[in-house]
Amino acid sequence: MITHYLLSKEVLTYIIKESERMYPQETGGVLIGRFEKEYVLIDYATAPGPDAQHTTHEFKRDGIYCQEVLDRIVAESEGLVDYIGEWHSHPSKSRPSSKDVMAMRWIANNKKYAIQNPIMCICMQEHKEVWKTYFYLYNQFRLNELVEVPSSPNGN
């Protein structure tokens, strides 16, 4: 079972920058990476895309754009990485909503996505201009919060 997550500074910085850029509206995109035994590696977070819909309480990514980016990155990695889930911002401090859980349930049940336990990342503004990312694994109608793997000494 996946209990931990690992992501690069680059991905983290990108998610926070994009969340700040779109404040007070929500933004987001697709997460690309790979699953290991007990953790998930998040290698990329895509942009929302030009046709994404942003409001203060809702976000819908540009599906065509995100699919194109996903296909390109998967091809470049020669299949090492793949779609692992979704990320979006919560400009006001709020936990994943029941709608967020439903969205992940839909993905888990949709054969097209071919993933039973997708990852959800929420970038939350905890205080004014202080953003923090939370990662969850969807499993059986629930989002289980994942623990960050401490970064390795070589800076990965």
Nearer to Zn ion, 62 or 100 (CB): 100
Least Cβ distance, residue 88 to Zn ion (angstroms): 5
Residue 21 or 93: the one with the smaller Cβ distance to Zn ion is 93
Q: Which is nearer to Zn ion, 16 or 74 (CB)?
A: 16
CB of 129 to Zn ion, least distance (A): 20
What are the tokens at 11?
Answer: 């991905």
Pick 41 or 143: Cβ nearer Zn ion: 143
Q: Cβ-closest residue to Zn ion? A: 100
Q: Which long-range contacts (CB under 8 A, 24 or more apart) does 52-57 make?
A: 52/27, 52/28, 54/22, 54/25, 54/26, 54/27, 55/25, 55/26, 56/24, 56/25, 56/26, 56/91, 56/92, 57/26
- State the residues that interact with Zn ion by CB under 5 A: 100
Kindly state the smallest distance separating residue 99's Cβ from Zn ion, in Å. Answer: 7
What single-letter amino acid sits at 124?
M
**Nearest-approach distance from CB 97 to Zn ion, in angstroms:** 5
Token couple for 87: 């990320």
